[in-house]
Amino acid sequence: MTTARINGIHLAFDDSGGEGPAVLLVMGTGSPGRVWDIHQVPALKAAGYRTVTMTNRGIPPSDECPEGFTMEDMVGDVVGLIEHLGLSSVALIGTSLGARIVTETALARPDLVACVIGMAAHARLDPVQQAMTRGEIALSEQSYLLPPDYRAAVMALQYLSPATLRNEGQAQDWLDIMAFDDGRISKGHKAQLQISEQLVDRSDAYRGISVPMMIMAFRDDAAIPAYLSRELAGIVPGARYLEVPETGHYGYLEQPEAVNRQLLAYLQEVFPASRSAAAPRASATLR
């Protein structure tokens, strides 16, 4: 990844380059931008898009900023990166906290944004998500670590679809991956969690979003339940809404082909990489 001085910090990003329309992907809490490289970046590049991924402040190799930061800072990072790259019209894709960031960016700087795709997008958190966030912050301040197997099992229940967990081979693979990390929450990761803890209901503000937006919910998402995304779709003027079945919070990793198909269909409709290429309309019901 490349690191540039943007918005007062060192921000890490990866730019595929090329002449196609630019798509900037923004990750959720605790994750680096390279997570998009597994499935979404190859699909977007193959479709002719210039893909840019960024690692949000709080997560190395971007500055951790352990003293804390605000949602306005994170929006400023997105805007700063777009301007640093000399782009004038960008499609923004974000998931979870990243969806909140790109939604806020569309509200603050619609002149830079061609369209927005928000996975697990939301205007507010309900009491369960708020309690979970507070609990994770409290855990970060403790000296003990949860047993790896227990932590992996909790993560699997929180982030994966029951359809994935019913496949014992897939479930074990995910548990092995999740247990590999020791579960330590860095100061930068904690600062990102504190952003979520401080989020207020932005429903009224989001009625002012003026750029095209598709809201993608993951039907079995326990971290950001689909009803919160559906609620947001009823708020944003003209927003497209769809649910991807048999997906949890990690839906873009669980069912990447279904997710990518919908991403590309929507982009081709509102922000085409090639105006001569035909793509089906993104649909609200997936089979």
Q: Crossing angle, helix 97-108 and helix 71-84, to 10 degrees?
A: 70
Give the pLDDT of residue 201.
Answer: 95
Give the pLDDT of residue 284.
Answer: 53
Cα(179)–Cα(173) distance, rounded to whole angstroms? 10
Catalytic residue among 15, 63, 220, 221: 221
**pLDDT tens-digit readout, 91-142:** 999 999 999 999 999 999 999 999 999 999 999 999 999 999 999 999 888 8
What is the SS3 assignment for 126-188?
Answer: CHHHHHHHHHHHHHHCCCCCCCHHHHHHHHHHHHCCHHHHHCHHHHHHHHHHHHHCCCCCCHH
Using pLDDT thresholds of 50, 70 and 90, give the confidence band for residue 279: very low
Average of per-residue pLDDT across 174-196:
92
Using pLDDT thresholds of 50, 70 and 90, give the confidence band for residue 146: confident
**pLDDT tens-digit readout, 199-222:** 999 999 999 999 999 999 999 999
**Domains, the chain, ordered by start:** 2-125+200-270 (3.40.50.1820)
Give the pLDDT of residue 181.
Answer: 84
Catalytic residue among 31, 62, 220, 249: 249
Give long-range contacts, CB 8 A cutoff, 24+ apart: 100-106: 100/71, 100/199, 101/26, 101/56, 101/71, 101/74, 101/75, 102/26, 102/78, 103/206, 103/209, 103/213, 104/71, 104/74, 104/75, 104/202, 105/75, 105/78, 105/79, 106/209, 106/210, 106/211, 106/213
**pLDDT tens-digit readout, 38-87:** 999 999 999 999 999 999 999 999 999 999 999 999 999 999 999 999 99
Q: Which amino acid is at 29?
A: T
Give the pLDDT of residue 157.
Answer: 96
Q: Is 249 a catalytic residue?
A: yes
Average of per-residue pLDDT across 176-197:
92
Q: Is 221 a catalytic residue?
A: yes
**Nearest CA-CA partner of 282 in 268, 265, 270, 269:** 265
**pLDDT tens-digit readout, 226-235:** 999 999 999 9
Give the pLDDT of residue 1.
Answer: 81
Q: What are phi and psi of 36, to 5 degrees?
A: -65, -20
* Assigned token pair, 277: 């290429």
Q: Bridge partners of 218?
A: 244
Q: Write down how long the chain is.
A: 287
- Asked whether residue 286 carries a pLDDT value surpassing 70, the answer given is no
Give the pLDDT of residue 282.
Answer: 52
Cα(196)–Cα(62) distance, rounded to whole angstroms? 19
Q: Are strands 113-119 and 213-218 parallel, antiparallel or unpaired?
A: parallel
Catalytic residue among 31, 63, 77, 96: 96
**pLDDT tens-digit readout, 1-16:** 899 999 999 999 999 9
